[in-house]
Structure 1
Amino acid sequence: MSHLTTNPADKERFLCIYPSYINNKKTLAEGRRIPVEKAVENPSCAEIRDVLTAAGLNVLVENKMYPREWNRDVQFRGRVRVQLKLEDGSLCQDKFSSKKAVMFYVAEMIPKLKIRTQKSGGADAGSQPGDAGKKGKKKKK
């Protein structure tokens, strides 16, 4: 029933990305995998899917929970599987050479999505093109 084929080599080519990996509301212990300055506020599986599909990658969304996620709400469910390598082991796209590269790309592009720009209004829209993903979180002065 799975979208993936039963061939074990196929599953190896698809890597998992949970929204928690790029969520700036999460700590490293809660599963964030990229620096908080680059992370995005509460990303959804749909947003990750939209960004990666637009980038031309082969994407599957699965209805799975992130093991470290304590909140069982529907908005926190889901994981995205992304195909980075072809059957011969070569990369699908050169700019996505690693899982980290994919996460940084997704975190950079989600704030530029139409859904996000319409929600945020005027305050955020001006800072987006240059500091995509910073969202004014600096308190170190």
Structure 2
Amino acid sequence: MAHLTTDPTNVARWVVVYPIYINSRKTLEQGRRLGVGYCCDSPTAQEVALVVKANLKLECILEWEKAYPRDFMQRGRVRVQLFDANKKPLNSGIPNRQTLLKYIALQINKIPNRTLPPTDDAAIFAQFVPTATTSSASATPPANASAGGNTNNKKNKKKK
């Protein structure tokens, strides 16, 4: 891209980390970048930013309005300044993007009292659907149900 600068200190050139990159519940096709053994369970962009700022002491920007293209319902990404103006790593322990992702996932797993979302789709769906409190005795039959017999006469006719 010719319009972007090659200066690594420019925010547009910082490393982008979406939480889905280190989510052990996602497949490689869905966007995970590491092996499942290195990943953590359902990380958030806020947790990623917390680890980068507190543990690595690297400059980062949390962008809540951004979404991962393959999973646009999950909001948030973090831009991390990994290199200085001379293209040298700011933290000698984190020389590249893969090492950064592994470190972030490891530290998120160590966060105490981390609350995880429900593991199955039924539990997630149940959060948004109100439960019905009507009993089966007061239930009315559907409007198109007949009192008895078969209403489809074509099936009852004999073929000649």
Q: Please say whether Structure 1 and Structure 2 have the same fold, judged by a TM-score greater than 0.5.
A: yes
Q: CA RMSD in A?
A: 1.9
Does the CA-based 8 Å contact 2:11-2:79 persist in structure 1? no
Q: 1:13 to 1:94 in 2, by over 3 A?
A: farther
Structure 1 CA distance, aligned partners of 2:38 and 2:87?
29
Does the CA-based 8 Å contact 1:13-1:85 persist in structure 2? no
Q: Which structure 1 segments of 5+ residues have no match?
A: 1-6, 121-141
Q: Which structure 2 segments of 5+ residues have no match?
A: 117-160
SS of match in other structure, 1:60: strand
Structure 2 CA distance, aligned partners of 1:13 and 1:85?
9
Q: 1:64 matched to which residue of 2?
A: 66
Structure 1 CA distance, aligned partners of 2:12 and 2:45?
20
Q: 2:14 matched to which residue of 1?
A: 14
The structure where helix makes up a greater share of residues is 1
Q: Which amino acid aligns with 1:99?
A: R
Q: 1:103 matched to which residue of 2?
A: 101
Deviations 1:35-59 (A, max 9, x none): 0111111000000000010110101
TM (norm. structure 1) is 0.71
Alpha-carbon offset, residue 105 of structure 1: 0.1
Q: 2:46 matched to which residue of 1?
A: 46
Structure 1 or 2, whichever has the larger Rg, is 2
Q: 1:113 matched to which residue of 2?
A: 111
Q: 1:4 matched to which residue of 2?
A: none
Percent of aligned pairs sharing the same letter: 33
Greater relative contact order: 1 or 2 (C-alpha under 8 angstroms, separation 6 or more)?
Answer: 1
TM (norm. structure 2) is 0.63
